[in-house]
């Protein structure tokens, strides 16, 4: 089977280095909030061209605590995004206004009517930010892009482009006060015991992410190369939504025949997935995108031969032959 995510290949590739990282942590005797947490926070801030960073327990917590640390009570979110974006806003006690999206799934800033917005860089795509709106970045899918908003939240879920073999998240910002507030909130508030929660990851997780971060640029280049291959081969058959110049966290195509194509690829042992079956709000472009978007294999360990097989079967679907099922 050609899979969307190949964590087994990553583990095989980096097994010795990850084992060494685990041994160093266990022999240190410090399991939480030690030197590896600090090293990872420094590395993530540098990667984002930001000054400050706080590690937390998940990407959802990262967005929630980032929003809580702003002290704001309302914001706008795109109608096409994973429900975790909405839930993180709710957990931050924020009122939500929905805005429509563009054809690439990113929020349409022209439809934003509030003074702030949560921008979601779907599939690693990038956008120019307006100067008159405060932007909070839900960076679960665009880790690696430089920080442009008030803060960015990241996810290290196993399906993300910098995957942990568990969970994890981070908040980066140039606002020191905001990051210090996040660090309070991740440990039950510390100063104010009535706020916050328990949201940290182990030193072992941090040490392993430091190892993986060294390979991130190479992984990104591989996904970008696969994206370019898909676009070159498929642009006459489907719309290619993912920008190969972005972080390419997923490769997404759009077609009016999504459901039938999905069935066809599944029968060929090629994993593919709907990109949100319905929008979070009934808005025109979000509705269209959810009906047409399909994610196909483009993992850091997907091979060119596998991508070529995906291409072959997509072309076969659109160009009927005796082999088509």
pLDDT above 70 covers a percentage of the chain that reads 96
Sign of CA dihedral 84, 250, 316, 265: negative
At residue 324, does pLDDT exceed 60? no
Q: Report pLDDT for 163.
A: 96
pLDDT tens digits along 131-164: 999 999 999 999 999 999 999 999 999 999 999 9
Please write down the HEC assignment for all residues of 266-291. HHCCECCEECCCCCCCCCHHHHHHHH
Contacts of 29 (CB under 8 A, 6+ apart): none
Query: pLDDT band for position 190 (50/70/90)?
Result: low
Is 7-213's fold the same as 216-318's?
A: no
Confidence tier at 322 by pLDDT (50, 70, 90): very low
Domain ranges for the chain, please list them.
7-213, 216-318
CATH number of 216-318: 3.90.1150.10
**For the whole model, what pTM was predicted?**
0.93
How far apart, in whole angstroms, are the C-alpha atoms of residue 52 and residue 176? 6
Question: What is the pLDDT averaged over residues 171-197?
Answer: 84
| 319 confidence band (pLDDT: 50, 70, 90) | confident
CATH class of 7-213: alpha beta
Residues 6+ apart with CB under 8 A from 206: 36, 37, 39, 40, 55
Of 71-80, 130-139, 192-201, 257-266, least confident by mean pLDDT is 192-201
């Amino acid at each position: 089977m050609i899979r969307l995510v190949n964590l087994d290949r990553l583990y095989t590739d980096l097994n010795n280095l990850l084992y060494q990282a685990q041994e160093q942590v266990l022999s240190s005797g410090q399991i939480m909030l030690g030197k590896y947490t600090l090293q990872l926070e420094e590395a993530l801030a540098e990667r984002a061209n930001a000054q400050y960073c706080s590690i937390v327990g998940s990407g959802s917590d990262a967005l929630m605590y980032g929003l809580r640390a702003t002290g704001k009570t309302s914001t706008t979110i795109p109608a096409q995004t994973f429900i975790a974006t909405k839930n993180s806003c709710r957990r931050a006690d924020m009122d939500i206004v929905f805005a429509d999206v563009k054809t690439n799934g990113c929020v349409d800033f022209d439809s934003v009517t509030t003074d702030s917005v949560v921008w979601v860089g779907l599939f690693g795509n990038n956008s120019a930010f307006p100067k008159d709106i405060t932007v909070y970045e839900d960076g679960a899918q665009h880790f690696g892009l430089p920080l442009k908003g008030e803060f960015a939240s990241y996810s290290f879920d196993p399906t993300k482009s910098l995957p942990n073999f568990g969970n994890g998240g981070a908040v980066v910002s140039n606002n020191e006060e905001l990051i210090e507030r996040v660090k309070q909130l991740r440990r039950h508030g510390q100063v104010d015991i009535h706020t916050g929660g328990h949201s940290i990851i182990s030193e072992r997780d941090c040490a392993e992410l430091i190892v993986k971060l060294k390979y991130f640029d190479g992984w990104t280049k591989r996904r970008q190369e696969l994206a370019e291959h898909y676009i070159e081969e498929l642009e006459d058959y489907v719309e290619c939504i993912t920008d190969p110049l972005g972080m390419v966290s997923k490769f997404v195509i759009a077609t009016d025949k999504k459901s039938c194509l999905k069935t066809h690829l599944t029968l060929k042992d090629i994993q593919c997935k709907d990109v949100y079956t319905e929008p979070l709000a009934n808005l025109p472009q979000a509705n269209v995108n959810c009906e047409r978007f399909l994610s196909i294999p483009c993992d850091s360990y997907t091979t060119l031969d596998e991508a070529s097989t995906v291409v072959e079967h997509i072309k076969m679907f659109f160009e009927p032959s005796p082999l088509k099922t």
